[in-house]
Structure 1
Amino acid sequence: MGLPKRIAYQDQRYPYIVLAPIGKKNKQIRSIGHKFERGLLSRLNDAIVDQIKDKALDVSAIRPYLGLSGRAVLPVSLQKEETIHPHLLRPELFLWGSLSEEHGLPLKKELLYETDFTQLSSEQLGKHVGEVLEDYLFLSHISEHEREYWLQKISKAFHAHPIVKLFHEKRKVIDAVEGMNQSSLISVLNYPEDIAYWRHRVEIVMRPFRSLPEQWLRGRESSCSHQKILEFDSEHRSICCYCESCDFCLFYHVDEDEVSFMEEYDVERAEKRMVTIEKQFNEIARKNQRLLEQLVQLKALKKQLSSARKTLEESLEVIHQIERYQRKEENLKLYPLLYMYDKMSRTQIPDQSSKSELLWLSRVVMDDVRMFKELREWKKVVPEHVYPITRHVLEELKSKLEEVRYGDDDIIITVKGRPLTYAYTQQILDLIYYYGSDYPAHTLVQMLAGKATNKLRTLHLHETRWFGLLSNWPEKHIQKLFNQLEKQGWLMKQQRGYSISDYAEEVM
């Protein structure tokens, strides 16, 4: 931190100024040779003295910030031709980092003031110098702590902001409103006009909370993990903190230890609206008593079916195996208990532990809202004792699985009138499993064709059990076989060769 001593240059004629070369190839200052430069530095030095006196500025904190001794408080940069750079250096250049002593200061637009101070009148120069000194004083205060310290202060102040505190207090309700607004249950509630009005109000009520970045709200003191941009405003003694990933900006006011946002909201009104929006939904829900009763009934059915959960899960797995062999979906409705269990397993209906219907219903996850229409029939189908029937269904499905399983002589694929049986398919898949991604396709083709090339002999591939497996097939047909096996989902093309698919692994 500070100005490297090796490149710093001070002239007793301008005691409040420290000079430094700017530009990577400009490594040091030998002298101030031009009359214009000397006159400009004299004006600048006088302006500094006047501003310190007029504003009663205590500039002593700037010197340790810049690593200077003596009276100098303002760095000015010289270009390679020993001409003064017309833009003063921003104090951010010296914050939380070290500068190289091997070459001049970095010539970056964002680290320079926009004002060309060489063209200013005495009054304008005084004003500009005063603002620059204020910036240096503010940054010298900021530099007393590391960047991480200020980020932590910003995070804590963020969570202390009234709207954020309200968010934490009302988090359950806020999450419930957002969840309910996206829930499929909304579509089956009666009184659609009331629902439409409620959803319209949600957009208004949620606006303050939606303006807050989700990742900042996960804890009570932390913020997001993204890199943040900090900008400093000495006039308001504030730090602008911007996260590009969250697209969120806030202002930390150093003296007050508080934050403000780009848009502020009336917290008292926001709190009242939260109470109202919950109350409105609860009133709508209570007018849908039949739906609430159906949810309780569905929950009871799920509990009843869960007594045979192991058998039902096994039955579903057998059905999936049957589907893999048949290459088509099985009609689950042919097995009512399985059909119900399959849908119920993806449905969550928690106990109503709160008096608020909103908090309860927002946690309901429905696989398919058509379940409400099917409920009457389901209640007729489910017996008092579920297990015996589910056991019978499982045995029936296992029998069907045996029927659809491939036999060794089953024809899996035909290429140009040449059939390939399941037994041969298994062997080819074994070859791909062991060698598929190690060798290119044409090498695998030559192995199956039994073509003992020098390459195959060198690699000892002619000694494998797959060599000549399809010796009565032309090589071009074997390549077409690979293409067909890939097309049907048995193989997957790789950058080099093939690999067997998940489907093939399951079936084999």
Structure 2
Amino acid sequence: MGLPEGITYQDERYPFIVLAPIGKKNKQIRSIGHKFERGLLSRLNDTIMGQITLKNMDVSVIRSYLNIQGPAVLPVAFQKEETVHPYLLRPEFFLWNTLSEEHGLPLKDSIQYEIDFTQLSAEQLHKHVGDVLEDYLFLAEISKHTRGYWLSKIYDAFQRHPLVQLYHKKTPVIDAVETMNQSSLLSVLKYPEDVAYWRHRVDIVMRPFRSLPEKWLRPGQVKSCGHEKSLHFDSYHRTIHCQCEECDFCMFYHVEEDCVSFVEEFDVERSRKRLVTIEQQFNSIAQQNEKLLEQLGQLRGLKKQLAPARKTLDESLQVAQLISRYQQADESFGEYPLLDMYDKLREAHIPARQSTSELIWLSSIRMDDIQVFKKLPHWLEHVPENVYPMTSHVLEELNSKLDEVRYEDSDVIITIKGRAMTYVDVQQVLDLVYYYGSDYPVHTLVQILAGKATNKLRTLKLHETRWFGLLSDWPEKYIQKLFNQLEKQGWIMKQQKGYSISEFADEVM
């Protein structure tokens, strides 16, 4: 950290200035030969001395920060033509940064101030130099600790911010509001105008909490979000501006007060009261839906009732799905209420009520298909208290039905432009896909079946396979349509190159 001693140059005529070459090929300063440069440096040196005296600055910390000896406190860049670089260097450039002695300082806009100090009046120069020295003093103080130290201080201060503390205190309610706002249960609650108003209020109430970055609030093994952060320093306000682009979040750390402020501050007490109100409003809506609350209890009871027969029901579902594939029909369990109920409820999550708040409880319920409420009366009529004997009976029926719908070798599975494909024919095509489908593009598979002995097929010896010419009496465009139809019916799956057989085809074969 600081200026490399090997490239610096000090002149006793300008004791408060340390010169450093700027530009990659500008490795050292030999002399200050031009009269204009000497006058400029003399004026700058006097201004620095005047500011130090006027403000009674302890500039020793700057020397330590820049790693320089003697009275010098401010680095000034010198260009290759032995002319003064007209922009003073920013102190951030030296912070936690090791510079090379092999070449001069990099000529970048980011490391310098935007003001051309060679064009300033005496009054303007005094102000500019004073501001620059304040920046160096502040950065010298910052440099006493590592970047990690300051990031840790910023994170700890973030956690102490009143809004963040309110978030942690009210996390269950905040999470419940956000979850409930997206829940499918809202669509079955009575009085939709009340629900619509509640959702409108949610956007207002949640705005302060949504402004906080999720990964700062719930970090993993590392503090904060783990993303790269940029730090900017403001000596006037003595703050560190911390920004994370990934989280789209920035805040200001106040060094003296050891606290943070946000770009937009919210009234924390008002936010707290609004949270209480939004929960009460939802609870009031839910309490007017006694029937729905009762139905949720009944659905939970049915789900619990089915639990002992889960293994049999899972097997029944698989068989029923296979039957549907054979019949090329949509899955339907209408004739098996027990199976239909299990299929609809197996992914649903309806925990026991453990909170007095309807909001907290209902937000913990996960139910993708709200049609279950319409089917509930039918299920209650047809589901016995002891479901196990019935589930075994359902599985037996389904297995029997599966035997009936299984393909015979002579069954016509697909017809393309009047050309019929039996189950045996389809199996042979599926065999080709199984062995070669993912290795070659579809047009190669088409050529094999068509018996088209191209040079490529001969080179690959694909003309010697048992599938070569299997559909030689088919036009190639019809064979292409055959593959499209096999994919549509779920026998094969499109891959990056060619096809692979589906899980269904694997089971059937």
Q: Same fold (TM over 0.5)?
A: yes
Equivalent position of 1:154 in the other structure: 154
Does the aligned pair in 2 maintain the 1:157–1:257 contact within 8 Å? yes
Paired amino acid for 1:149: Y
- Output aligned runs, 1:300-311, within 5 Å: 300-311=301-312
| Aligned mates of 1:499, 1:294 — CA distance in 2 | 45
| Aligned mates of 1:284, 1:443 — CA distance in 2 | 63
| Aligned mates of 1:207, 1:493 — CA distance in 2 | 45
**1:42-68 CA distances to partner (integer Å, 9 max, x unpaired)?**
111111111111111111122232221
Residue 486 (structure 1) shift: 4.5
| Aligned mates of 2:444, 2:117 — CA distance in 1 | 75
Equivalent position of 1:396 in the other structure: 397
Per the normalisation by structure 2, the TM-score is 0.91
Task: Determine helix, strand or coil for the equivalent of 1:282.
Answer: helix
| Aligned mates of 1:370, 1:118 — CA distance in 2 | 77
Paired amino acid for 2:91: P
- Output aligned runs, 1:58-73, within 5 Å: 58-73=58-73
Task: Determine helix, strand or coil for the equivalent of 2:233.
Answer: strand
- Output aligned runs, 1:484-495, within 5 Å: 484-486=485-487, 488-494=489-495
After the TM superposition, which of the residue ranges 249-258 and 384-393 deviates more from structure 2? 384-393
| Aligned mates of 2:455, 2:204 — CA distance in 1 | 77
> Does residue 31 in structure 1 map to residue 18 in structure 2?
no
Residue 91 (structure 1) shift: 1.0
- Output aligned runs, 1:171-320, within 5 Å: 171-219=171-219, 222-320=223-321
Paired amino acid for 2:31: S
Equivalent position of 1:406 in the other structure: 407
Does the aligned pair in 2 maintain the 1:324–1:507 contact within 8 Å? no
Task: Determine helix, strand or coil for the equivalent of 2:366.
Answer: coil
After the TM superposition, which of the residue ranges 343-352 and 452-461 deviates more from structure 2? 452-461
In the comparison of the two structures, how many residue pairs are matched? 508
Task: Determine helix, strand or coil for the equivalent of 1:256.
Answer: coil
Equivalent position of 1:336 in the other structure: 337
Task: Determine helix, strand or coil for the equivalent of 2:252.
Answer: strand
| Aligned mates of 2:395, 2:471 — CA distance in 1 | 40
After the TM superposition, which of the residue ranges 275-284 and 393-402 deviates more from structure 2? 275-284
Residue 330 (structure 1) shift: 2.8
| Aligned mates of 2:357, 2:258 — CA distance in 1 | 37
Residue 306 (structure 1) shift: 2.2
Does the aligned pair in 2 maintain the 1:344–1:367 contact within 8 Å? no
Does the aligned pair in 1 maintain the 2:184–2:370 contact within 8 Å? yes
Structure 1: stretches of 5+ with no match in the other structure: none
Q: 1:502 to 1:37 in 2, by over 3 A?
A: farther
Task: Determine helix, strand or coil for the equivalent of 1:239.
Answer: strand
Equivalent position of 2:369 in the other structure: 368
| Aligned mates of 2:481, 2:195 — CA distance in 1 | 59
| Aligned mates of 1:487, 1:374 — CA distance in 2 | 31
Task: Determine helix, strand or coil for the equivalent of 2:264.
Answer: coil
Task: Determine helix, strand or coil for the equivalent of 2:96.
Answer: coil
| Aligned mates of 2:476, 2:196 — CA distance in 1 | 67
Structure 2: stretches of 5+ with no match in the other structure: none
After the TM superposition, which of the residue ranges 143-152 and 164-173 deviates more from structure 2? 143-152
Paired amino acid for 1:25: K
Residue 203 (structure 1) shift: 2.8
Q: 1:130 to 1:490 in 2, by over 3 A?
A: same
Per the normalisation by structure 1, the TM-score is 0.91
> Does residue 144 in structure 1 map to residue 144 in structure 2?
yes
Q: 1:396 to 1:226 in 2, by over 3 A?
A: same
Q: 1:302 to 1:482 in 2, by over 3 A?
A: closer
Residue 475 (structure 1) shift: 6.0
| Aligned mates of 1:104, 1:503 — CA distance in 2 | 69
Residue 417 (structure 1) shift: 4.7
RMSD: 2.6
Task: Determine helix, strand or coil for the equivalent of 1:236.
Answer: coil
